[in-house]
Homo-oligomer: A and B are copies of this chain.
Amino acid sequence: MNTHAMWKDYPQLEKDLSRVTQLIDSHIRIRDKQIRATLKEVVHAGGKLLRPAYTLLCSQMGAYYDRDKAIALAAAVETLHMATLVHDDVIDDAATRRGKATLQNTHGNKFAIYAGDYLFSISFAILSKHSGSLEHLAYNSRSMERILIGELDQLHSRFKPASSVKDYLARISGKTAQLFAVSCYTGAIESKATKRQARHAWYMGHYIGMAFQIIDDILDYEADASHVGKPVMADVRQGIYTLPLIYALAKNEREIKPILEKKQLSDEELDRLITLIRQERGLANAKKLASRYTEKALTELNKLPNGPYKDTLFELTSQMLKRTM
């Protein structure tokens, strides 16, 4: 099984991530050949496996490093992520993901809904089989709740121009940062890191997730090579207001609001919008905030016990969060 090219300089991690994918694959136990094959395609669709990588690395923090257990926890994290992606694609009516047709595109919404549910149940099955304690498991369920509260909230706030920076941050905290935080925390606590260390791992993951999502939201407004240099602007088309727009809106509501009040935006209106966002420094200020979160993440990282895993964490995080800087 091939893992993403980004891991080629980390042979050990690459090997473990390949085992993560294999483990998830082995949990797809459906008699019907066609359904099984379809779900296995989702598993092997070639995501970057960032979240499980953080779990694997943080599993080397504590006194008790059990490789098989670390791989299982990482698999639970990734399966949970996959489940939310499958449902996100239904919600967003997405035709492709990672360059491949989405489940809902090829098999319909109905199939994709149950398929996502099935992946959720596998995530919990792996977790309850390999987690060291009910307490950790309860913590993970609670995190899962928070992630879904974030999703519900985002859905609910579509086409609501009142979005504030505070609301935006609360939303991405639930939607993205929560899962990064859990990925790190789970690895740490299950490897018997101290509570204090696990808390630093949690915050590190949280800040990484915040920076990651802000950068992702910035990229949606930046030129995209595959679209002849045009920004994708998928979010605003769907009525999702992300940080660059929220910043710009706060400075120039007079000119921006009337554009947003139209539910369908023409190419000219999108061009006008991006010009206004740039002019009001919406992108520049969003980048600044992403950098602040990255710094916070690295500060937490520094507090973790030393070891080779820590160097890799540092490299990975710097590399990932400097995509736009």
Binding site for B on A (CB under 8 A): 29-32, 34-35, 83-84, 87, 90-91, 109-111, 113-118, 120-122, 124-125, 127-129, 131, 133-134, 137-138, 140-142, 144-145, 147-149, 151-153, 155-156
Contacts and interface: CB of A to CB of B under 8 A. Distances in A.
Of A109, A118, A141, chain B has the most CB atoms within 10 Å of the CB of A141
A131 B129 contact: no
A116 to B, nearest CB: 8
A152 to B, nearest CB: 5
Nearest to A146: B121
A118 to B, nearest CB: 4
Given A118-B145, A156-B34, A156-B35, A113 B125 contact: no
* Copies of this chain per assembly: 2
Given A87-B113, A113-B116, A134-B134, 12 more contacts: A29-B145, A31-B153, A84-B117, A90-B113, A111-B156, A117-B148, A117-B151, A121-B147, A125-B142, A125-B144, A129-B138, A134-B137
Contacts of A116: 113, 117
Contacts of A31: 149, 153
A29 B29 CA distance: 34
Nearest to A119: B148
A163 to B, nearest CB: 13
Of A83, A84, A153, chain B has the most CB atoms within 10 Å of the CB of A153
A221 to B, nearest CB: 24
The 3 closest A-B pairs by CB, nearest first: A125-B141, A121-B144, A128-B137
Nearest to A112: B113
Contacts of A133: 134
Given A128-B141, A129-B138, A152-B30, A91 B118 contact: no
Contacts of A30: 149, 152-153
11 contacts: A32-B152, A111-B156, A113-B113, A114-B152, A115-B152, A118-B152, A121-B148, A124-B144, A128-B128, A129-B141, A137-B137
Given A91-B110, A114-B148, A32 B124 contact: no
Contact of A113 (B91, B124, B138, B149): B91
A32 B91 contact: no
A133 B137 CA distance: 11
A138 B118 CA distance: 15
A124 to B, nearest CB: 4
A67 B137 CA distance: 23
Contacts of A148: 114, 117-118, 121
